[in-house]
Structure 1
Amino acid sequence: MSVEATARVVATRDGLPVLESAGPLALRRTRAAGPYTRVTVVGAMSAPLGGDRLAVEADVHEGAKLHLDSAAATVALPGRSPAPATYDVALTVAQDAELRWLPEQLISARGSDLRMRTRVELAATARLVLREEQILGRHGEEPGTLTTRLTVHRAGRPLLDQELSFGPGAPGGWDGGAVLAGHRAVGQLLVVDPDFEKNPVESRQLGESAVLTPLAGPAALVTAVAPDALRLRRLLDAARCELLDG
């Protein structure tokens, strides 16, 4: 039997007036460092399976600072239903608010079919740090079919719209030299900061398998590939430290 569930969090300067868990998505307030309120997504059961429809919604009100992460990797698995699973993430960040969306990796297991979409709406003075990591197959196995789309609007205008497809159901060439070149871990780090309007970042290569690209707005996108999850995380963590501390 397929599962349909939406977990929701609302953050204000004064706390978390809404913290709603649902189905396999359990939200827990956890200890945070600095000025952030921290919420962790804890998986209560195996999901997403074929046919599941899962969603996470986060609304960060004016002046609030929310750190949203997960306790473990999300593993897309085949299920009894032949329909693909869907996982939708909707993030809204108001004026002078900040969101750090830093979940653990998404693992596409053999035989799975997952469509994941992340949609972000930012006010003009909002700040965002967003990390996505896709691991194509568990150790020693081929990946399932995975399609992800990341759409970001700032002050009502498009900032980024990117779609990636991997696995046996993806268009040909996804594993070729121009895309993954045999790597099985791919990730993106997006940083949106109004301070970049005065001090824009410059496009450059980060190591052998990552690149930093300024966007048409106060934002920077890091895209990286790696042989495994550990090396991918090291690349993205180094880029995050450079962008936030530089």
Structure 2
Amino acid sequence: MTTAGVRATARIEARDDGRGGTSLPVLDGEGPLALRRIRGGGPEARVMLVGAMSGPLGGDRLAVEARVGTGARLRVGSAAATIALPGQAKGEARYAVRLDVAEGGELCWLPEQLISAGGSDLVVSSRIDLAAGARLVFREEQVLGRVGEEPGRLTSRLTVRRDGRALLDQELACGPGAPGGWDGPAVLAGHRALGQLVVVKPEFETDLPAARPLGEYAAITPLAGPAVLVTALAPDALLLRRVLDEALGELT
């Protein structure tokens, strides 16, 4: 930790153990990013990201990296919501997620919500690289402000590439200082909880779900590959999770 904020990286590497399971030769967290292996069933390894400190705060630079090898299966969750806070250091905080899944590997990335507290300024970037035969479930949920509070500024970019080609590359900025109209009917329509779900699996090569609405403020959209994107808005985190869970049940 410095006067400019905390620098910390958590690293996970999952490999096929050759016995029908998944080993974790690398499970290394530092600073506020602690990693714990938890019990799971079958061939899947499960890891919990545990926040050991408040944050991210202004000036922090945090990153989580996960690599899933050929034939390995990894599920990553978090013990609680992540809350972006102003902090004492000036400037924005940055939180980077870097995920890599090899041929025949499978990654389920299912953390709890990210909450943008009033006065905070956070830039989140998620970059996912998949081999042609990789499988992915990636969930991202963001809540703008705590109860009775205006949100901080939140900028989020998600990039998904499969076999070197882009499946998805999008960015959204919300809160004070964001481009005008972010809270209007064409973007969030006054909602404070937003989320998305990306599902990639080889079976979609021949049976890709069609685009359709999921209620008034959610939709399934097929991507240019064996992948679909679910986007959803909701008045609160509980309803958002319910919508995304229902969509995930249909898609998996």
The alpha-carbon deviation at position 110 of structure 1 amounts to 0.1
Letter in 2 for 1:152: V
Letter in 1 for 2:170: Q
Does residue 47 of structure 1 match 2:52? no
Q: Which residue of 2 aligns with 1:11?
A: 14
Cα distance in 1, alignment partners of residues 250 and 41 from structure 2? 19
Cα distance in 2, alignment partners of residues 162 and 32 from structure 1? 33
Q: Which residue of 2 aligns with 1:99?
A: 107
Letter in 2 for 1:8: R
Letter in 2 for 1:231: L
Cα distance in 2, alignment partners of residues 29 and 242 from structure 1? 28
Q: Which residue of 2 aligns with 1:137?
A: 145
Q: Which residue of 1 aligns with 2:20?
A: none
Letter in 2 for 1:211: A
Structure 2 matches for 1:12-27, cutoff 5 A?
12-14=15-17, 15-27=23-35
Cα distance in 2, alignment partners of residues 73 and 199 from structure 1? 35
Per-residue displacement from partner, 1:134-169 (whole Å, max 9, x unpaired)? Answer: 000001100000000000110011110010110002
SS at match of 1:239: helix
SS at match of 2:55: coil
The alpha-carbon deviation at position 29 of structure 1 amounts to 0.1
Per-residue displacement from partner, 1:204-238 (whole Å, max 9, x unpaired)? Answer: 00112100000000000000000000000000000
Does residue 122 of structure 1 match 2:125? no
Cα distance in 2, alignment partners of residues 149 and 217 from structure 1? 20
Q: Which residue of 2 aligns with 1:185?
A: 193
Does residue 230 of structure 1 match 2:238? yes
Cα distance in 2, alignment partners of residues 40 and 188 from structure 1? 20
Cα distance in 2, alignment partners of residues 32 and 132 from structure 1? 22
The alpha-carbon deviation at position 35 of structure 1 amounts to 2.8
Letter in 2 for 1:184: R
The runs of 4+ residues in structure 1 deviating greater than 3 Å are: none
Letter in 2 for 1:3: V
Match among 202, 213, 217 for residue 205 of structure 1? 213
SS at match of 2:83: strand
* Greater shift in the superposed pair: 165-174 or 27-36: 27-36
Cα distance in 2, alignment partners of residues 83 and 131 from structure 1? 27
Q: Which residue of 1 aligns with 2:170?
A: 162
Per-residue displacement from partner, 1:4-57 (whole Å, max 9, x unpaired)? Answer: 000000000120000001110000001224431000000000010000000000
Cα distance in 1, alignment partners of residues 144 and 183 from structure 2? 11
Match among 56, 67, 78 for residue 75 of structure 2? 67
Cα distance in 2, alignment partners of residues 53 and 40 from structure 1? 20
Cα distance in 2, alignment partners of residues 30 and 53 from structure 1? 26
Per-residue displacement from partner, 1:187-206 (whole Å, max 9, x unpaired)? Answer: 00000011101101100001
- Give ranges in structure 1 of 5+ residues lacking alignment: none
- Give ranges in structure 2 of 5+ residues lacking alignment: 18-22
The alpha-carbon deviation at position 81 of structure 1 amounts to 1.7
CA RMSD of aligned residues (A): 0.7
Does residue 88 of structure 1 match 2:91? no
* TM-score normalised according to structure 2 size: 0.96
Cα distance in 2, alignment partners of residues 44 and 77 from structure 1? 15
Cα distance in 2, alignment partners of residues 108 and 169 from structure 1? 14
